[in-house]
Structure 1
């Protein structure tokens, strides 16, 4: 297939900067911002989406493991710093659709108990200021929008739902079906993982998902992954009242003299500074960058940063305790689309460990180039045939447990204006407990959890702070302005027209992928904004 930069039949976005006044300005186009734009688009209100990145090009490298994992073709060149001032390159991506362009499309609901206070091994996971029942209708809508395929009733921790999945579960391929059967025989309750992919149902015009091995961590060349660009932004742009400006890095938000309303959204576009005005301004730049923007917007009225009178902006950063590993079998694993199975039997603990542990799911199928990109020193002398032999016999697992919000785990600004991310791991024992449980089970099934070459396709194993895929918590919502940044509608307590709709609003992160919750919340906030806009 020749290299292509085609982005679809129509390039919808506008570069007419003469129009600077909008009803809503949305900063970011991922699971939060993109989904919100989709909800607001039919209203006829003037909507502007400012996206720092560009369309992610559709090209042969989308499915090339060397390009993605060795050359880091789609990773931003940002420089961030840790608490000691040491620089690192975050595994972050700036494109229309945000982080969803390279996510694994595992679209889980938080469990009902995740919305309440939970006692963990290392402390308390705080209650949300709204209930699961408040979110449930929006989870259902988000599942429909993102075409989530799944099966109710298999997962023992599944929260209540108002109806079945509208799209049937993605079937297991032979090796994963065997694992599913073996796990059930061992007394566990494996389930079909909720997957946001497009299998060309009769009413859809998208390309058919071919269930390839390049979904998790890769862009989708055929636009068959349910990412925010494909299912939310592009449909929103068919409405003439919606404008997208790409390559627009928002550098600050200015307020009126009272400090109560954002008046100007200041963005750098093509090396020039532009100002945009919105009756409502919505930040959805990702938990770290949203905090950065608010902190950079300090003024006389907001000396510690915008919306930061409580000193909570940037604090309580969470991103999951995660581990990926290979289980190597004597049997071949020729699975292409591996991310169809999950296990939550240990999510809230068991008889031996009376604290929540978390989620077990599959990760995208490994390949030799991934190993070289992830562990270049360890694999430098390994022949390609040896690495390929490991890959063809491996089954790949991803474990997620909850890290707890800590005020000292936070985003601040370095002297050069870039992000400093201070993070000390916590609540790590549940991850070890979860790993030991699945390791014992797999050993009995003839699978050897093999750590010679650990899977670290996203970052490293265990995942360090450079792995920002599940970042959340830096602008938490709550009822009390003293310990939160946003109210329950995700409006800043201290400003009349500023909202945040990415995962920054999470008070806690649970132990499942956060994308569906971000999308559901964007729909929830979208309904609030539609009421407000009349």
Structure 2
């Protein structure tokens, strides 16, 4: 087995895939180590139990729990293991990582996201920092993602759109549900500006992948056609086909070893037979997802790094980010609409809504206070999972129901109307009480300390979340929805995680430099979402992809540039 590579990438999701593909195309030997199995399209079936109620595609919480710290109403912190709890921060332990299971709705960050502190000033209780790069630095890589990963959509003139170097997306938009038109009409009446949403899903066959089949089971499910732009389907398959990239599944990395000078010498991992193996490389790239990347660095102590690799300033794991915001929903009872509209609402079960609002990306509302960062509102279908949806019908206002009343409730719910939901995203402000550390008592199956995740949040998250959720409720009501709900929550969404190894120009206040290379370790890069000092007001995946392509170019330059035969 070859143990000598130019680049070793640990993790195979949105942060690892772009690095592997770029370096392989540039002519360098690449090894990708992935702790989970290697699933392909034929392994992704629409089984709600396997997907969402069992650990088919994620790590076993019995073997690999996390410890979650939460704050009670009295300001005290209490902790619990995620084993046998409803919390899980694992989102996809397999080749391609959680990008296999994303919904694929893509938004870029905007120029304001890179200068949050400069634009709005310090926020009491928050560790807000400007990025060491600008939107202009990342824009070419957003464009590259559109072509390399495959993004479908349409660009329209819009007062809140960010600058683009191309006129449109490379693929036409995915099929849209009639709800999209109704949202457009309601927003126009309210004076708002609905925005067509791009998706990392192919609307037509391309790059050896099939187009979307519109079966409705998308988010949280693997894609059986390859249309979804996962790191596996879009990038790693091509990297392996180049002949210069090897992907090793079932490779559970346990430690990065370093020498007295502080350089990484090799990686240790457990193979499928749980035998210890090691790999040597010139450059090491960490892309395990924010929580596990921080954990691995903290576990990788050495002569120069008694607190963990690249952690002399104690900032590894700090300033963890989730996604702030709110949510809501509205139900559309067919009986309220004319026959033509009711028929339209019943059809197209798998077509996407593809609509968003960014009118309040910056909130300039005197009633809310000084101008401040706001966020994005996305309109999406209620998740199709029938088991979970039916289970929620077991109670009504009088309590638990069963027998004929339950049958009638289920019939009404599934046949007499349908609901859409709202997801509102705002910045999860980095604070001192949101971080990753190593638990002092609980260990995983292999006797390594598990990650302890403190999930404190800033009150601003809630304030902006409520503002956005209430705006979304206005739109739902204008559309004719009933039972409209809108709310904000301080609980972290477990599928949107970043931070923990923020980048910056000052080694005293950041873990990585502007190129995402560790300040202290010249052969270590971190290319997942860990680099982000602030998260913006959109889901992170497109930005992680784009930055990973940017980091890959920096690594190519460090290794000497593109080889002539590549």
Question: TM-score of the superposition, structure 2-length normalised?
Answer: 0.84
Distance in 1 (CA, whole Å) between partners of 2:538 and 2:413 is: 28
SS of the equivalent of 1:26 reads strand
What per-residue deviation string (whole Å, max 9, x for no partner) do you get for residues 488-521 of structure 1?
Answer: 1100000110000000000100110111111111
Q: Given the superposition, is the C-alpha separation of residues 381 and 22 from structure 1 closer, same or farther in structure 2, using an over 3 Å criterion?
A: farther
Q: CA offsets per residue over residues 194-216 of structure 1, 9 Å max, x none? A: 10111224x54312212231112
- Kept after mapping to 1: 8 A contact 2:435/2:500: yes
CA distance in 2, matches of 1:385, 1:502: 48
Matches of residues 85-104 of structure 1 in structure 2 within 5 Å? 85-88=79-82, 89-92=87-90, 93-104=92-103
What aligned pairs does 1:124-273 form with structure 2 within 5 A after superposition? 125-164=128-167, 165-201=169-205, 203-259=206-262, 261-270=263-272, 271-273=274-276
Q: Does 1:325 align with 2:328?
A: yes
Distance, in Å, in 2 between the alignment partners of 1:394 and 1:235 is 39
Render the CA deviation track for 1:293-325: whole Å, top value 9, x for unaligned: 000001231011100011110000011124443
Shift of 1:374: 8.0
Shift of 1:390: 3.4
Q: Quick one: distance in 2 between partners of 1:336 and 1:275?
A: 45
Relative distance call for 1:407 and 1:516 in structure 2 (3 A) is same
1:11-50 matches, cutoff 5 A: 18-50=1-33
Q: Assess if the C-alpha contact under 8 Å between 2:457 and 2:490 holds in 1.
A: no
Which ranges of structure 1 fall in alignment gaps of 5 or more residues?
1-17, 456-460
Residue 6 of structure 1 corresponds to none
Instruction: Confirm or deny that 1:106 pairs with 2:120.
Output: no
**Quick check: 1:325–1:449 contact (8 Å CA) kept in 2?**
no
CA offsets 1:450-500 (integer angstroms, 9 cap, x no match): 45xx99xxxxx84734x4211011000000000100001100000110000
Cα deviation code 1:427-448 (max 9, x no counterpart): 2111011111211232233113
Conserved in 2, the CA contact under 8 Å of 1:476 and 1:504? yes
- Deviation (angstroms), 1:75: 3.3
Residue in structure 1 matched with residue 472 of structure 2 by the alignment: 438
1:525 aligns with 2:551: yes
Residue 395 of structure 1 corresponds to which residue in structure 2?
A: 420
Distance change in 2, residues 1:63/1:368 (3 Å): closer
Choose 1 or 2 for highest CA Rg. Answer: 2
Going from structure 1 to structure 2, the CA distance change for 1:375 and 1:87 (only over 3 Å counts) comes to farther
Change (3 A) 1:368 1:161: closer
Q: Are 1:37 and 1:233, in contact at CA under 8 Å, matched by a contact in 2?
A: yes
Q: Once the 2 structures are TM-superposed, how far is the Cα of residue 395 of structure 1 from its aligned partner?
A: 1.4
What corresponds to 2:68 in structure 1? 82
Aligned-pair CA distance for 1:180? 2.1
Aligned 8 A contact 1:401 1:430 in 2? yes
**Shift of residue 329, structure 1, vs aligned partner:** 1.5
1:360 matched to which residue of 2? 377
Residue number among 489, 500, 516 corresponding to 2:542 in the alignment: 516
Tell me the secondary structure at the aligned position of residue 236 of structure 1. Answer: helix
Alignment CA distance shift 1:377-1:501 (3 Å): farther
Provide the rounded CA distance (Å) in 2 between the counterparts of 1:374 and 1:528: 50
Q: Is the 8 A contact 1:76 1:90 kept in 2?
A: no
| Cα distance, 1:62 vs structure 2 | 2.8
Between 486-495 and 335-344, report the one with greater CA deviation. Answer: 335-344
Aligned equivalents of 1:370 and 1:342: distance in 2? 28
| One of 464, 474, 493 as aligned partner of 2:491 | 464
More displaced 10-residue stretch of structure 1: 426-435 or 52-61: 52-61
Q: 2:337 is matched with which residue?
A: none
Mapped contact 2:326–2:468 kept (Cα < 8 A) = no
The alpha-carbon distance between structure 1 residues 364 and 48, as it changes in their structure 2 partners (threshold 3 A), is: farther
Specify which of 388, 405, 408 is matched with residue 371 of structure 1.
388
How far the C-alpha of 1:398 sits from its partner, in A, is 1.2
Asked if the contact 1:492–1:500 (Cα under 8 Å) also holds between the matched residues in 2, the reply is: yes
Match of 1:413 among 418, 438, 451: 438
Q: Give the C-alpha shift of residue 58 in structure 1.
A: 4.3
Aligned residues: 507
SS class of match (1:157): coil
Deviation at 1:381, TM superposition (A): 4.4
Q: Which contiguous aligned blocks of 4+ residues in structure 1 show a shift greater than 4 angstroms?
A: 57-61, 120-124, 372-382
**Secondary structure of the structure 2 residue equivalent to 1:116:** helix
Change (3 A) 1:531 1:60: closer
Q: Tell me how far apart the structure 2 counterparts of residues 343 and 423 of structure 1 sit (CA, whole Å).
A: 28
Displacement of 1:350 after TM fit?
Answer: 3.7
Q: Which moved more, 1:38-47 or 1:478-487?
A: 38-47
Whether the aligned pair in 1 keeps the contact of 2:114 and 2:133 (CA below 8 Å) is yes
Alignment equivalent of 1:274, drawn from 267, 273, 277: 277
1:344 to 343, 346, 358: 358
**Unaligned 5+ residue runs, structure 2?**
70-77, 335-341, 444-448, 561-566
How far does residue 408 in structure 1 lie from its aligned partner after superposition? Answer: 2.8
Q: CA deviation at 1:328?
A: 0.6
1:350 and 1:446 mapped to 2: Cα distance?
28
Q: Distance between the aligned counterparts of 1:139 and 1:412, measured in 2? A: 32
